[in-house]
Structure 1
Amino acid sequence: RHKPSVDVLFRSVAREAGKNALGVIMTGMGDDGARGLLEMREAGALTAAQDEASCVVFGMPKEAIARGAAAHIVGLDQIGRFILNQGH
């Protein structure tokens, strides 16, 4: 019934957009997205993960952080600004 797909999306973005992309992984259960976000970072994309304090479920961001996929860790209330400023 459930098929994790964030890794598929992020892997495609890494391949097609590379350094021109920005990826943010937010609250969620499991590790879906961690590998794909790392591929994005390795391709030169700007990457971020939601911080633990503002997550309902810290699973997905925690895995991305542990794997070194997130260059930045930001709170939920900061993600919009982060995206608009492209991490600056």
Structure 2
Amino acid sequence: MELPGPDFPAGLIVVEDVAIRGLTHAKAAVEVAEGVQRFIAEVHRFIWPVCTQHGPGLMHPELHQGRAFWICGQGPHPFTAVSDRDTT
């Protein structure tokens, strides 16, 4: 963990080897979701989350209308919110 400073104005948190640099809740939620998804895939050999319309595959977190969503790459369409908080 780095406290805010010249190199990282918002601070920096690293979980395993994933640096969380998001300056808003939504951006941080996307980065945390990516890390969790990768951890589940690498450690447990499990695909998560799974789109109810298209099955396992190309789900990835990203910002959609200012909020963090899981996006289905087959659609592409927003699948479900990563977090229920707003953009702040």
Larger strand proportion of the pair: 2
Q: What TM-score comes out, normalization by structure 2 length?
A: 0.29
Higher RCO, Cα 8 Å, sep 6+: 1
Q: What TM-score comes out, normalization by structure 1 length?
A: 0.29
Bigger Rg, which one? 2
Larger helix proportion of the pair: 1
